[in-house]
A and B are shown apart, each in its own frame.
Chain A
Amino acid sequence: MLRDITLGQYYQTDSVIHKLDPRVKLIATVCFIISLFIVKSWVGYVIAAIFLAVSIRLSRVPFKYMVKGMKAIVFILLITVVFNLFLTPGEALVSVWKIRITKEGLQMAVTMAVRLSFLIVGSSIMTLTTTPNSLTDAMEKLMKPLKVFRVPVHEVAMMMSIALRFIPILLEETDKIMKAQIARGADFESGNLIKKAKAMVPLLVPLFISAFRRANDLAMAMEARCYRGGEHRTKMKPLKYAGRDRIAYGVLAAYFAGCIAIGICL
């Protein structure tokens, strides 16, 4: 049931991308997203597609698995395309009654579809190949300069990693409670909206109670081990750049520079 949600869930395998420093992957993802909005010609999108395809290939995550995770956002994609297609003013291509498809609309719709799907696949490569914990590690490290402005970087990173850590636990818990209530004859699927919302009560009440119970336990356990974040705290596995990370940065810089050049010239 709920286990089927794969969008961005870590996929365990051994690949070059998996081994990269999470900071590289984080920066690369941000650069890739920016590049999608810089380039405006098809040449740029072809280059982006090649970059994406190579990354997917290197990550060794089955493409099928990635696409399966994308099912959830097909609806959003569809709405974007439809709205752009029909509601962009300009030179009419086809016009039936009051509905007009314009040349600009078509162009816009295609661009948006490509951008959105690239954006999602691109960022899911990062989450598929990086554990949530190393991702927050990377964020903490990259945000360190903000400490000058009194931003509690460590605390924010800690909260994020706890939140991420609890997602699978709560999903499992939801699955369990759902099954237990179905075993008692609960029906989560049929009925109108109000009936469906009411059917969620037997699921949500136990779920909230269990979330609070777990949060309490965790806080207690952290206190029992004298946890205090921030200053003077060292890491067991500090992040360190290796040779492959430098190569990755090089490739990324070349790609990004290329995209900027294309964005300016074409």
Chain B
Amino acid sequence: MSIILDHVNYIYGSDTSLAVHALKDINLVIPDGQFIGLIGHTGSGKSTLVQHLNGLIKPTSGSIYFNGEDIHAQDYDKKKLRSKVGLVFQYPEHQLFEIDVFSDVCFGPRNLGLSRQETELRAYAALKQVGLEDDYFYQSPFDLSGGQKRRVAIAGVLAMKPEILVLDEPTAGLDPKGRDEILDQIAKLKEETGITVILVSHSMEDVARYVERIIVMNQGSVMFDDTPREVFKHYRELEEVGLAAPQVTYIMQALSKKGMPVKTDVTTIAEAKEEILRVLRGG
């Protein structure tokens, strides 16, 4: 169960005067069960890239393989692909339309042609997975708060039981509490089900805590593709393209410059704390 992108190029409006080369020669392998952070500045092509993963956009040139099959082959079943690769768009709450929360979550599995019982079971499980209480199930989705709406929308994709879950800026426009709750829930989901998760974001801070691999996009190309530890070593280059390493990286760099013999390649606050304590205790 892996996705392979082979020399993928995408050009918006190729026959107008405003052609934009959004993706330039992207080569990526996304194996099973990874937790990946896809990071880039606004307009770096990350949203365009994720829409290629479930065949919503056809690359201008190059191919995409899911489990070894070309997804743009004549007889490929795109509907099946879309149930396997679940894509949660930016501001997904804008796609809600049903009269109550539960029916909205049922929309995805129902489209897969599942029985009513299976559909409802899945919807219930998905709503539980995103941590929404039963009281809300039969309310109109438009009466919920922003964070709750977003959970419902994410549940709508989860109910299709995807093997790969792609979330495009799932925390955009949420307050810090709502952001942490959503990210924690995603991390928990990843742990419990072992699915592949691709988290799109422009904030290193958000993803550094969770992911095992970071792909940095810049102007339509892949700039870095490595573990967070390795990627953050390039914090100067990241700054140049309008991104930044997590704040702990800067603290550790500053400490090291002042002559404190700490390792600078820590990625989370917890790690940094351990490292500083180790040095202070003279370990």
Q: Name A's B-contacting residues (CB within 8 A).
A: 3, 11-13, 64-65, 68, 173, 176-177, 179-187, 201-202, 205-206, 209-210
Contacts and interface: CB of A to CB of B under 8 A. Distances in A.
A239 B95 CA distance: 42
Contact of B56 (A13, A173, A177, A182): A182
A12 B17 contact: yes
Given A12-B18, A180-B89, A187 B111 contact: yes
B94 A210 contact: yes
Interface string B1-28: 0000000000001011110000000000
B123 to A, nearest CB: 12
Contacts, number: 66
Contacts of A182: 56, 82
A209 B142 contact: yes
A183 B56 contact: yes
B111 A179 contact: no
Contacts of A11: 16-17
A183 B157 contact: yes
- The listed residue with most B CB atoms (<10 A of its CB), out of A11, A13, A179, A184, is A184
B97 A201 contact: yes
A28 B193 CA distance: 66
A185 B82 contact: yes
Interface in B171-194: none
10 contacts: A176-B94, A179-B51, A179-B89, A180-B89, A180-B94, A183-B87, A184-B82, A186-B107, A206-B96, A209-B94
Nearest to A61: B17
B61 to A, nearest CB: 19
B112 interface: yes
Contacts of B87: 180, 183
B54 interface: yes
Nearest to A205: B97
Nearest to B157: A184
Contacts of A205: 97
Interface of B: 13, 15-18, 51, 54, 56, 79, 82-83, 86-87, 89, 92, 94-97, 107-108, 111-112, 142, 156-157, 160
B54 A183 contact: yes
A184 B54 CA distance: 11
Nearest to B113: A185
A13 B17 CA distance: 7
B95 A180 contact: yes
A206 B83 contact: no
B86 A183 contact: yes
Given A180-B89, A206-B96, A210-B94, A187 B79 contact: yes
Nearest to A182: B56
Contacts of B17: 11-13
B12 to A, nearest CB: 8
Contacts of B107: 181, 184-186, 202
A228 B161 CA distance: 53
A210 B18 CA distance: 27
Contacts of A12: 17-18
B83 A180 contact: no
A12 B20 CA distance: 14
A186 B87 CA distance: 13
Nearest to A201: B97
A187 B78 CA distance: 11
Nearest to B109: A185
B15 A183 contact: no
